[in-house]
A and B are shown apart, each in its own frame.
Chain A
Amino acid sequence: MKQTVTITPDSKTIATLKKMISLKKENREKVMSKITSQKK
């Protein structure tokens, strides 16, 4: 099954989504930092 749901978020939900994006970026940075240190 495949479905798309469209939601108009309130300000609190937007803040939550921004936080999720921010966590994703933090994880990338952690991974890159770890990989870089392992290669040294």
Chain B
Amino acid sequence: MYRYKLEEELNPLFSFDTKHNLSYFVSLKKMDFDNPYFSNLYSLDFWEVHNQKFIKDSLIEDTIIEIIFDFFKIFPNSLLHYVCDSIDNRQNGRSRLFDNWYNKSNNEEFSKLNIEFKIESDVNYNLEFIFKSEFYVFEEVKTNILLQLEEFSNYK
């Protein structure tokens, strides 16, 4: 794992550099939907500063996974979500990262919900949610997410 540093606290932002001179940011942005159920919702994102991703380096994944664990130590009642599309064909790698994170976690302590939006012959979307089971009931999370998506869609 690489050493990382906290760049910002309000919307937690972490950074780390790799042995291949790549620089990564991991952002956990607090979301506000005017919905009390999602009062601790954070949006996760990670990227290389110059969009260089061609070097295979498992330490990058290990570091991001460790940052997520550390985040939950500070904000244990968070509902963490990650959204991605299939435009760059990297969605499987991202999904694997979350699977690896879940596999490394105590499965009784954490839950993971993946919502796949399949569109024939078009871009697909994935919404991943991870949270501690002591703060959220799995079926309630699923119901509230789907209701919130419906509300967003009807709002347009």
Contacts and interface: CB of A to CB of B under 8 A. Distances in A.
Nearest to A23: B43
A9 B117 contact: yes
Contacts of A10: 153
Contacts, number: 86
Chain B contact residues, majority secondary structure: strand
A6 B118 contact: yes
Interface residues of B, number: 34
Interface residues of A, number: 26
A6 B47 contact: no
B116 A21 contact: no
Interface of A: 1-10, 12-17, 19-21, 23-24, 27-28, 31-32, 35
